């Protein structure tokens, strides 16, 4: 069973309890559809400008996480019609953060 960790953005933490993320993880939908079987491996909140993401990811890895998913809100905007990937989300540095986390931890990172 794959242990999937989630890193979210501080800009959305007081509005979103990760309900959809956990639902998709449990039902293996959206970004979690790639797993035959998965379970939560931990959750952390990234703080701007993202310098803490590597340390958070290292802690998640030490707790058994095998892959890190970055919440959709970090790279897309929610609209009435769903997620808009064309204009970015809360984090303007998400691609750089993901690259650094992957390099420093060796864990696959999913956006």
Task: Please write the tens of the pLDDT for every residue from 27-45.
Answer: 999 999 999 999 999 999 9
| Cis bond before residue 15 (omega within 30° of 0) | no
Average pLDDT score over residue span 96-104: 96
Q: Is the model's pTM score more than 0.85?
A: yes
- d(CA 64, CA 6) in angstroms, rounded, equals 13
Residue in the structure block whose two tokens are 């979690």: 32
In this structure, are residues 69 and 32 in contact, taking their beta carbons and an 8 Å threshold?
yes
- d(CA 9, CA 97) in angstroms, rounded, equals 12
- d(CA 92, CA 48) in angstroms, rounded, equals 10
């Amino acid at each position: 069973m794959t242990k999937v960790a989630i890193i979210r953005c501080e800009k959305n933490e007081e509005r979103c309890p990760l309900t959809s993320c956990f639902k998709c993880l449990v039902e293996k939908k959206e970004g979690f559809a790639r797993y035959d079987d998965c379970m939560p491996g931990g959750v952390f909140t990234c703080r701007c400008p993202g310098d803490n993401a590597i340390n958070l990811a290292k802690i998640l890895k030490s707790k058994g996480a095998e892959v890190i998913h970055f919440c959709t809100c970090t790279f897309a905007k929610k609209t009435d019609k769903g997620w808009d990937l064309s204009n970015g989300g809360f984090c303007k540095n998400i691609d750089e953060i993901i690259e650094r986390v992957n390099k420093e931890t060796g864990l696959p990172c999913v956006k």
